[in-house]
Amino acid sequence: MKARNSLLFLVAFCIILSCGSPSKLLTSGKYDKAFDKALSGLEKGKNKRENKSVLLKAFNESVKSTEEQVEVLLVNPDIKYAVEAYEEYSQLSNQYQSGKTWLSGDYANKMADINADQESVRLNIVDSYWAYSQEDIDNYESTEQKVYAQSAFENLEKFEYYGGESPDLKTLKETMYEAGVIKINVKAEQRWGFSNNWDIDNTFDDLERISTKWYDITYDGIDQDYDCLMQISLSDIDYDVRQNRDTQQYSEEVQNGYTTQVDTSGNTIQIPKYETVYGSVITYRTRVTGEWYADVEWLSRNGDCEFRNERFSADDFEDCEYYETSGDQRAIPSQFLNQSAFRDDCDVEEEIQDELLDDLYDDIRREYFR
For residue 259, the cross-strand partners are 271
Under DSSP, the state recorded for 223 is: G
* Residues paired with 325 in a beta bridge: 281
pLDDT digits (tens, 9 = 90+) for 10-28: 444 444 444 578 889 998 8
* pLDDT class of 153 with cuts at 50, 70, 90: very high
* Sign (positive or negative) of CA dihedral 103, 104, 105, 107: negative
pLDDT at 342: 45
Distance CA 217, CA 226 (A): 9
Per-domain residue ranges of the chain: 17-103, 125-180, 235-291+307-363
Residues 6+ apart with CB under 8 A from 12: none
Task: Please list, in sequence order, all residues whose beta carbon lies within 8 angstroms of the beta carbon of residue 217, skipping any fewer than 6 positions away.
Answer: 184, 186, 207, 208, 210, 369
Mean pLDDT of the 196-204 span: 91
How many whole angstroms from its chain centre is CA 60? 42
Query: pLDDT category, 339, cuts 50, 70, 90?
Result: low
More confident residue, 339 or 363: 363
* Cβ-Cβ contacts under 8 Å for 331 (sequence gap 6 or more): 250, 251, 252, 277, 278, 279
Q: What's the half-sphere exposure (Cβ side, CA atoms, 13 Å) at 362? A: 7
Give the distance from CA 155 to its chain's centroid: 27
Of 125-129, 165-169, 343-347, the one with minimum mean pLDDT is 343-347
What is the maximum span of the chain, computed from C-alpha positions, in angstroms?
A: 128
- Give per-residue pLDDT as tens, 262-291: 877 878 888 888 899 999 998 888 899 999
CA distances from residue 16 to 3, 4, 20, 99, 278 in whole angstroms, order as listed: 20, 19, 6, 26, 77
- Taking the C-alpha atoms of residue 292 and residue 239, their distance in angstroms, rounded to an integer, is 9
* pLDDT band at residue 4 using 50, 70 and 90 as cut-offs: low
What would the pLDDT profile of 209-254 be if each residue is shown by its tens digit?
987 889 999 998 876 678 999 999 999 999 999 989 899 999 999 8
Contact 279, 327 (CB under 8 A): yes
Q: Please state, in angstroms and rounded to a whole number, the distance separating the CA atoms of residues 304 and 143.
A: 11
DSSP string, 5-45: HHHHHHHHHHHHHHHTSHHHHHHTT-HHHHHHHHHHHHHTT
Q: Nearest 5°: phi and psi at 256?
A: -135, 70
Predicted pLDDT of residue 77: 93
Of 100-104, 181-185, 203-207, which range is least confident?
100-104
pLDDT of residue 290: 95
Q: Grade residue 345 by pLDDT with cuts at 50, 70 and 90.
A: low
pLDDT at 13: 42
Cβ of 239: how many Cβ atoms within 10 Å? 15
Closest CA to 284 of 321, 327, 242, 325: 321
Rounded distance, CA 177 to CA 10, Å?
64
Does 293 score more than 50 pLDDT?
yes
Mean pLDDT of the chain: 88
pLDDT in tens, 179-196: 999 999 999 999 876 678
Instruction: Show Cβ contacts of residue 271 under 8 Å, excluding neighbours closer than 6 positions.
Output: 258, 259, 260, 261
166 alpha-carbon distance from chain centroid: 38
pLDDT at 301: 81
Cα 369 to Cα 239: distance, rounded to the nearest angstrom: 30
Q: Any idea which of 21-35, 70-84, 154-168, 218-232 has the lowest mean pLDDT?
A: 218-232
Question: How does pLDDT run across 110-125, given as a tens digit for each residue?
Answer: 999 999 999 999 999 9
Q: Give the sign of the dihedral formed by CA 93, CA 96, CA 100, CA 105.
A: negative
What confidence category does residue 48 fall into, taking pLDDT thresholds of 50, 70 and 90? confident
Interatomic CA distance for residues 340 and 137, integer angstroms: 71
